[in-house]
Amino acid sequence: MTKSPLKSLGEALLYLSPFLLGVIIFSLYPVANVFLISFKEGYRMATGAFQQYGLGNYTRVLADKDFILALKNTGLYVLFVVPISTALAILFAALLNQKIRFTGLFQTAYFLPMVTSGTAVGLAWKWMYNYDYGIFNYLLSLIGVSPINFLNDVRYGLLSLIIFGIWSMLPFTIILLLAGMQNIDPLYYTAAKVDGAKTTKTFFRITVPLLAPTIGLVLIINMINAFKVCSELFPLFNGKPGVAYSLYTVVFYIYDEFFLNRQLATAGAAAVILFFIVFVLTMVQLFIQRKWKHY
């Protein structure tokens, strides 16, 4: 005797109820609550009292020079980190996809940062950027370039953060792209070899077009992660957003408003603005990707 669709649906919901309850409590409710609080003017976190609903918090955030600086820094960070890290990851994934000696060793070396503490990695990079003993200034001295005060000069703060961001984004990106390359049918490469196609031409005519869906996924994931840049600042700049607070990012601004200034409504407004920026850019990327031909 077959079960009725309604009974089957009820059983499915019963099995899924623990998961759904967790999603509602820990995901949907916080998002909806932040969105609601962002419209509460004069909101007091201790009592939950507020004056009225309105756009006052959004006006205040958009008029704050620190938030404008945070938008600028975050935008530049995303603009440089996402495409550069993706391009490098494609190159490294292509190399790791070759049948060469010590492939396992190279894969471990590239993927090791994923299982290493972010704080430990950040402190290691802080020493690499050190003005007196850092490896970067040592390498620059070999070509006759004077030492650069990467972490204590406003001119180089964002550059230092971008370089660190590119490196930290590589492992996960390489894994995704390598998985995409290994799913490409080897017959395409066999046919190209029979036709006498060179390695470079094969890469741009076969590998990249067939990898387009994976590249699109990587670009979206990396863009979202890049917009959330914040934790990288703590080990590099001792918990501060750069020299003279010149490296504010949007998430660090939200952190400051909530934990230091106790302005939950303002932090909520900044978070909602960031959400809509990321949402719009994601939709634009999805629209562009639909035009890609990967076959």
The whole-number pLDDT of residue 188 equals: 85
CA 274 – CA 285 distance, rounded (Å): 17
- pLDDT-derived band of residue 186, with 50, 70 and 90 as boundaries? confident
- pLDDT-derived band of residue 3, with 50, 70 and 90 as boundaries? low
Q: Which CATH superfamily is domain 58-289 in?
A: MetI-like (1.10.3720.10)
Strand 40-41 to 52-53 pairing: antiparallel
Question: What contacts 273, CB < 8 A, 6 or more positions away?
Answer: 58, 61, 62, 250
Q: Does pLDDT of 272 surpass 90?
A: yes
CA 286 – CA 169 distance, rounded (Å): 21
The whole-number pLDDT of residue 249 equals: 95
Q: Are 268 and 34 in contact (CB under 8 A)?
A: yes
- pLDDT-derived band of residue 293, with 50, 70 and 90 as boundaries? low
The whole-number pLDDT of residue 60 equals: 93
DSSP reduced 3-state for 53: strand
Ranges of beta strands (E only) in the chain are 40-41, 52-53
- pLDDT-derived band of residue 290, with 50, 70 and 90 as boundaries? confident
Q: Does pLDDT of 152 surpass 60?
A: yes
The whole-number pLDDT of residue 292 equals: 66
Comparing 5-9, 44-48, 264-268, the range with the smallest average pLDDT is 5-9
Q: Domain residue spans in the chain?
A: 58-289
Q: Are 242 and 264 in contact (CB under 8 A)?
A: no
CA 21 – CA 160 distance, rounded (Å): 42
Q: Does pLDDT of 145 surpass 80?
A: yes
The whole-number pLDDT of residue 260 equals: 86
Amino acid at 208: V
Q: Does pLDDT of 2 surpass 70?
A: no
Tokens 């994601």, residue located: 282
What distances in angstroms separate CA 109 from CA 9, 71, 170, 241, one per listed residue?
A: 47, 34, 12, 30
Q: Are 162 and 254 in contact (CB under 8 A)?
A: no
Q: Does pLDDT of 216 surpass 70?
A: yes
What distances in angstroms separate CA 244 from CA 25, 151, 178, 234, 241, one per listed residue?
A: 39, 11, 41, 14, 8
What distances in angstroms separate CA 11 from CA 23, 135, 139, 176, 237, one per listed residue?
A: 19, 61, 64, 36, 53
Instruction: Tell me the range of 81-90, 99-108, 195-204, 256-265 where mean pLDDT is highest.
Output: 81-90
pTM of the predicted structure, to 2 decimals: 0.89
Comparing 6-10, 11-15, 128-132, 239-243, the range with the smallest average pLDDT is 6-10
Q: Model confidence over 85-139: pLDDT tens digits?
A: 999 999 988 888 887 777 777 777 777 777 777 788 888 999 999 998 899 999 9
